[in-house]
Amino acid sequence: MNDIWVGLTDVSKNDDCELNLDGAGAFVWWATQASSEEEFLRKLTKGLEHYKLALIEVERIRSFDESDEVSEDFYEMVERARQNPEWVCFGTFNTYPHHTA
């Protein structure tokens, strides 16, 4: 099994997005099994396309460490990624009301 990689994204909805997101966009963590940052980004791109989300920015990409102090929700996202090696899993969407220039 590959390591679990995580990354924080800023995303917005495309017109045909079926996710029920209030607001213009959201910050959300993603997790997936990957062997490198490049593989994480490839899987993230596929996940964003599937959910019809536009990536604004991605940061804090790293391999998850069991010693990391994270919330229960974050840890559940990591566990889902462990159980689903081919998919990228997302955490809670923290939405914001509008885009700023």
pLDDT at 101: 45
- Alpha-carbon distances, residue 9 vs 1, 31, 67, 98 (angstroms): 24, 11, 22, 16
**Amino acid found at 2:** N
Mean pLDDT of the chain: 91
Tell me the average pLDDT across 45-53.
95
Residue 10 burial (10 A CB sphere; 0-12, 13-18, 19+): middle
Type and span of the H or E element at 43: helix 37-51
| Domain locations along the chain | 3-96
pLDDT at 100: 59
Question: Are 27 and 10 contacting, i.e. CB atoms less than 8 angstroms apart?
Answer: yes
Q: Which two tokens stand for residue 54?
A: 């536009």
**Amino acid found at 73:** D
pLDDT digit string, tens, across residues 54-63: 999 999 999 9
